[in-house]
Structure formats: C-alpha cells, structure tokens
C-alpha cells in the first residue's frame, strides 16, 4: 500500500507542478486570445486559450459543473486507488496521471473560472487544422487513457481461471 501511494505521489505531484508552472508562464506572457506564437512554423504554436468547457470545448460555459464533476471523480479515484482496486502497475500509473490531470485543470477552474490551454498543433489534416489547444494536464489525461486501454488489453489476454473440480 505504501509503495502504491509513493508511486501515485511521485508521478502526480511533479506533473501537477509542471502543469501549473507552464500555465503560470502562459498567463504571465501571452495575452488571450492573441494570435498563436510559432515555435515550429506551420506545425507547433503557443497560445493562450481560456476554455470553460471540457475536451474540444464541449459544454462551454459550464465551468462549475466541471468543477463538481472533477472533484467527485478525484475523490472516487483516490478512494478506489487506496482500496487497492488498481492492481497492475499500468493501471496505477494511469491513475497517477489522471489525478495529475484532474488536479491541474481543477486548479485552473477554481483560480480562473476556466482552463488555460496553450499547446496548439496544426496537423495539416482535415478536421484537425489546427488541433484544439490543450495543456500538460490534458496530456496526462490522454496518456492515462492509453494506460488503461493497454492494461485492459493485457488483462483480456490472460487465460481465464479454471474452476476447481
């Protein structure tokens, strides 16, 4: 149990700090909704987007709904994690990433009443031109989803336990 909690904190806290540090820099240095600043011309830009919705700006204007949803999800995740529900390493890493992401965006919603998004990629493909702006917390949530999917696939490949005769 102690090692599981150590893993959670070792992953979640530095990523939460990185998320907040990068957002602090963006808020201090880029005026919203100023034109994106090219980092790699025609591909990667820094911007300052204030998102009151969720992924892809779904539910825009419902900041307090997302505050409540985030808080409930965070409490539930931590309760299940501390009860040992997530047994494999990949799932535990996924939970740590998810906690970092939820905390990062929840902190923004409480401080600013919106999430600060600032990473903008132009993938030069239809419907992703540019891809919606995102942040470090969003990246953590995305990678956590991948961890859960991989853990699920690995679990489904294990042979089913045989019934005792």
Sheet with 37-40, strands from edge to edge, namely: 37-40, 44-51, 115-121
- Burial zone of 159 (CB within 10 Å; 0-12 exposed, 13-18 middle, 19+ buried): exposed
Per the annotation, the verdict on 117 as an active-site residue is yes
Alpha-helical (H) ranges within 34-160 are: 63-82, 89-112, 136-157
Ramachandran angles phi, psi of 12, nearest 5°: -70, -45
Active-site annotation holder among 19, 88, 108, 138: 138
What is the rounded distance in angstroms from the CA atom of residue 34 to the CA atom of residue 75?
36
Per the annotation, the verdict on 122 as an active-site residue is no
Q: Are 48 and 68 in contact (CB under 8 A)?
A: no
Tell me the catalytic residues.
117, 138
């Amino acid at each position: 149990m102690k090692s599981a909690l150590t893993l959670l904190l070792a992953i979640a806290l530095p990523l939460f700090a990185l998320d907040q540090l990068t957002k602090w820099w963006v808020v201090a240095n880029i005026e919203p909704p100023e034109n994106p600043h090219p980092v790699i011309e025609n591909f990667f830009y820094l911007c300052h987007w204030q998102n009151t919705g969720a992924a892809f700006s779904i539910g825009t204007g419902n900041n307090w709904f997302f505050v409540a949803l985030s808080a409930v999800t965070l409490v539930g995740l931590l309760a299940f994690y501390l009860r040992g529900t997530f047994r494999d390493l990949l799932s535990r890493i996924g939970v740590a990433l998810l906690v970092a992401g939820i905390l990062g965006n929840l902190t923004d919603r409480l401080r600013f009443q919106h999430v600060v998004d600032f990473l903008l990629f132009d993938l030069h493909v239809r419907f992703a031109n540019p891809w919606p702006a995102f942040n470090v917390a969003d990246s953590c949530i995305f990678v956590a989803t991948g961890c859960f999917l991989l853990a699920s696939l690995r679990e489904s490949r294990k042979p089913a336990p045989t019934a005792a005769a």
